[in-house]
């Protein structure tokens, strides 16, 4: 991590004239805060057999500064307003799902719990929230954010952000529920302040604002900042506010990065999904390459570097840009063998945990032959017509070096449960913070 001169203040300031020392104290730290290293931890990973205990015991958590719990969302309420809500389970349909039991009422047995203690009936906090609290207790440097929205759960943000009163009520409800921790009662769990202290802030995952939302997105971010700061005045704590943002020009044009970034501690820049099976017939291409390839068949080649420079040019400080990496592969099947499948036509999406995608932990276990592209700094596999592109520890290590060299804000990943059992990718990310 970066050294903060505030840790050296007594001896450093003692050698300065009084007026100079006072000015430095008033100005705050002489260097930027540490780089961030973190990941999204999904509520539903519990159903896949993943436990935060695995992350804790691996030692990889020592290199992280944050986790973002995904996802909670906002709902259209009976009175017509849009607010955060919880207290029941709702099947996913039309962006209205809810997983409250997994959040704070699921009871982990002792052998699955971070602390080694089983959840008991009637305790105020159980479920994933309690596991996050236990993880924080073991890793004091770790900050926990609640991620609101996501690809399927962002449908009500435009309505909620459309008016000043709507923004005020939406933000207040989210802070009350997650930061103040006032949870509805559910199966004997929850209650006033039940989750207080679990979340250190909010990650806004509104995917994706449209042209009509441009100003309102900025105003919603500002309202979150205003209310979090007001709460912080009472508690004496700085509450984090971040946002997950698509890195492409197509999506960025509908927002005001120079304005909304002022209210954020950092931006989780989604520098991945550059190519994928939504182009079912190909051509194949890289999904998270560090640099563009002039030889690519894409009319507008995408890359991490392209996205980062786009946001810097738009007025976002480099220190607020946290580069995103995928813990999953994108792929195609029936791919032509020329150039080991790179930039070739395909017959359809690769078969993985979902159409055209496969978890890193699954694909690396296959021990397939890999190919490394020296221009883009991305790798891929090709065997029997199957093409997969993904990041491995080497690729992530090069991105970590890029983050340090460019003095960016850090690295984040989607998603923690997709790493292998040794948390190889998570460990490689840790180099970004050194």
Q: What is the pLDDT of residue 33?
A: 57
Q: Which of 18, 63, 58 is nearest to 39 (CA)?
A: 63
CB atoms within 10 A of CB 225: 19
In terms of DSSP H, where are the helices of 119-270? 127-138, 157-160, 164-174, 214-235, 249-252, 257-260
Q: What is the DSSP letter of 39?
A: E
Distant-in-sequence contacts of 21-29, Cβ < 8 A, 24+ apart = 29/4, 29/5
pLDDT in single tens digits along all 434 residues of the chain: 323 333 333 333 333 333 333 333 333 323 345 899 999 999 999 999 999 999 999 999 999 999 999 999 999 999 999 999 999 999 998 888 999 999 999 999 999 999 999 999 999 999 999 999 999 999 999 999 999 999 999 999 999 999 999 999 999 999 999 999 999 999 999 999 999 999 999 999 999 999 999 999 999 999 999 999 999 999 999 999 999 999 999 999 999 999 999 999 999 999 999 999 899 999 999 999 999 999 887 777 899 999 999 999 999 999 999 999 999 999 999 999 999 999 999 999 999 999 999 999 999 999 999 999 999 999 999 999 999 999 999 999 999 999 999 999 999 999 999 999 999 999 999 988 88
Q: Is domain 32-270 in CATH 3.20.20.80, yes or no?
A: yes
**Residue 355 annotated as catalytic:** no
Q: What is the pLDDT of residue 301?
A: 83
pLDDT tens-digit profile of 277-293?
899 999 999 999 999 99
Distance CA 251, CA 151 (A): 13
Q: What is the pLDDT of residue 63?
A: 96
Helix (H, G, I), strand (E, B) or coil at 71: strand
Q: What is the pLDDT of residue 267?
A: 98
Q: What is the pLDDT of residue 235?
A: 94
The neighbouring-strand residues paired with 383 are: 386
pLDDT tens-digit profile of 44-80?
999 999 999 999 999 999 999 999 999 999 999 999 9
Q: Which of 403, 142, 95, 418 is nearest to 269 (CA)?
A: 403
* The dihedral sign for the CA sequence 321, 322, 324, 325: positive
Distance CA 72, CA 87 (A): 12
Domain boundaries defined on the chain: 1-29, 32-270
Catalytic residue among 34, 112, 152, 207: 207
Q: What is the pLDDT of residue 67?
A: 98
């Amino acid at each position: 991590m970066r050294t903060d001169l505030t840790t050296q203040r007594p001896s450093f300031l003692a050698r300065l004239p009084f007026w100079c020392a006072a000015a430095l104290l008033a100005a705050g730290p002489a260097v930027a805060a540490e780089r961030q290293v973190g990941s999204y931890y999904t509520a539903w990973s519990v159903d896949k057999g993943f436990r935060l205990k695995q992350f804790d015991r691996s030692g990889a958590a020592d290199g992280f500064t944050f986790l973002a719990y995904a996802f909670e969302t906002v709902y259209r309420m009976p009175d017509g307003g849009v607010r955060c809500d919880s207290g029941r389970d709702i099947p996913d349909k039309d962006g209205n799902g809810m997983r409250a039991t997994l959040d704070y009422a699921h009871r982990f047995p002792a052998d699955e719990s971070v602390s080694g203690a089983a959840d008991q009936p009637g305790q105020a906090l159980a479920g994933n929230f309690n596991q996050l609290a236990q993880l924080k207790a073991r890793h004091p440097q770790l900050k926990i954010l609640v991620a609101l929205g996501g690809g399927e759960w962002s449908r009500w943000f435009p309505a909620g952000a459309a008016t000043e009163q709507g923004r005020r009520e939406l933000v207040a409800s989210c802070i009350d529920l997650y930061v103040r921790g006032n949870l509805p009662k559910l199966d004997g769990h929850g209650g006033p302040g039940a989750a207080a202290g679990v979340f250190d802030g909010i990650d806004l995952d509104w995917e994706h604002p449209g042209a009509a939302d441009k100003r309102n997105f900025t105003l919603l971010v500002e309202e979150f900042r205003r209310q979090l700061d007001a709460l912080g005045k009472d508690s004496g704590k700085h509450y984090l506010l971040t946002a997950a943002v698509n890195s492409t020009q197509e999506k960025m044009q509908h927002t005001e990065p120079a304005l909304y970034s002022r209210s954020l501690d950092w931006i989780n820049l989604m520098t991945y999904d550059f190519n994928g099976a939504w182009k079912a017939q190909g051509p194949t291409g890289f999904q998270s390459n560090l640099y563009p390839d002039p030889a690519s068949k894409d009319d507008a080649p995408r890359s991490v570097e392209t996205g980062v420079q786009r946001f810097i040019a738009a007025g976002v400080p480099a220190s607020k840009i946290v580069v995103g990496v995928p813990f999953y592969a994108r792929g195609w099947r029936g791919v032509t063998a020329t150039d080991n499948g790179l930039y070739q036509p395909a017959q359809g999406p690769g078969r993985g945990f979902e159409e055209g995608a496969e978890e890193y932990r699954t694909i690396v276990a296959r021990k397939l032959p890999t190919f490394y592209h020296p221009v883009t700094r991305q790798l891929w596999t090709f065997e029997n017509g199957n093409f997969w592109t993904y990041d491995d520890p080497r690729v992530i290590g090069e991105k970590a070096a890029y983050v340090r060299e460019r003095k960016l804000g850090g690295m984040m990943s989607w998603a923690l449960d997709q790493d292998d059992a040794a948390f190889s990718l998570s460990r490689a990310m840790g180099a970004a913070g050194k």
